[in-house]
Amino acid sequence: MDQTASNVSEKLEQAKASVDPGYVPSDDEEYMSERQLDFFRMLLLDWKKSIHNAAGQTIQSLKDGPMREPDLNDRASSETDWGIELRTRDRQRKLISKIDAALRRIDEGEYGYCDKTGDPIGLKRLIARPVATMTLEAQEAHERRERISRDD
């Protein structure tokens, strides 16, 4: 296990120790209380660890797997599968930077609030998408503006 994966595992264990098993944030609590922040930190670190593990498996498969199939159709299929796998890992690499940014926002006390409006993003949205940086309304408005400028 490389240093990054080891560091993530260490931080994840620390985060898990501070969150009760089975705890799920609720609207009955103070928004972005220490308990909720610990929950989201654990969620993000767990997600990051699973991405690192999957990447390690992909690297190992690339080292072990035969890339040269005797049949041209089998070879084409294998190369297509590897291409999809590598694109998936590239998307996940980009996701890790979003996870790291969310962890930084937790540390800086900015997590859970919209970048555009400063309003609370909401627990349901953050549980569904822990790296969210905007409220649903702000995200939809952003996407509409992108679509309009793309069409021009």
Condensed to tens digits (0 to 9), the pLDDT of residues 31-84 reads 999 999 999 999 999 999 988 888 777 666 666 665 566 777 777 777 787 778
Query: Residue 112: pLDDT above 50?
Result: yes
**Tokens 């790291």 correspond to what residue?**
100
Query: Residue 9: pLDDT above 70?
Result: no
Give the domains, in start order, of the chain with CATH numbers: 3-111 (1.20.120.910)
Task: Sort 89 into a burial class: Cβ within 10 Å, 0-12 / 13-18 / 19+.
Answer: middle
Query: What is the per-residue pLDDT for 121?
Result: 97
Query: What is the per-residue pLDDT for 5?
Result: 61
Q: Find out whether 79 and 46 touch, Cβ atoms under 8 Å.
A: no
The model's pTM: 0.75
Q: Give 24's contacts (C-beta < 8 A, 6+ positions apart).
A: 39, 127
Task: Sort 95 into a burial class: Cβ within 10 Å, 0-12 / 13-18 / 19+.
Answer: middle
Condensed to tens digits (0 to 9), the pLDDT of residues 121-134 reads 999 999 999 999 99
The CA-to-CA distance between both ends of the chain, in Å, stands at 49
